[in-house]
Amino acid sequence: MTGNTADAPALLELRGLQRERAVAEDNAANQRETLRIVVARQEAGRGTELDTLRAQGQLEATLANLPLLDERISRAMFRIGVLTGRQPRQLTSEL
């Protein structure tokens, strides 16, 4: 990174997207565990199919968002590459 103030908004956007993706990954892990519990409850006769479908749908929605976040992160890295005159691949290890 060059330290140019014009880079700051792009870098802030990238950091926000990276954090959003990390939160989504954490949510997916929690939702997997919730689904496991809901399935076990249903198998034990203490839950409903609706509960299971709802938990599964929530997990699938979260997982479906990850590729979109990855694309937005790639675009943000490309913008930073343009602003700094570097290849986005070179920035991956730094950012």
Which residues of the chain fall short of a pLDDT of 70? 1-6, 93-95
> What pTM did the predictor assign?
0.82
- Return the pLDDT at 64: 98
How many CA atoms, within 13 angstroms, populate the side-chain half-sphere of residue 82?
Answer: 7
DSSP one-letter string for 31-46: HHHHHHHHHHHHHTTS
CA distance 86 to 1: 9
- Return the pLDDT at 44: 96
CA distance 63 to 11: 25
- Return the pLDDT at 3: 54
CA distance 46 to 38: 9
- Return the pLDDT at 81: 87
- The residue type at 12: L
Percent of all residues in the chain with a pLDDT value above 70, rounded to a whole number: 89
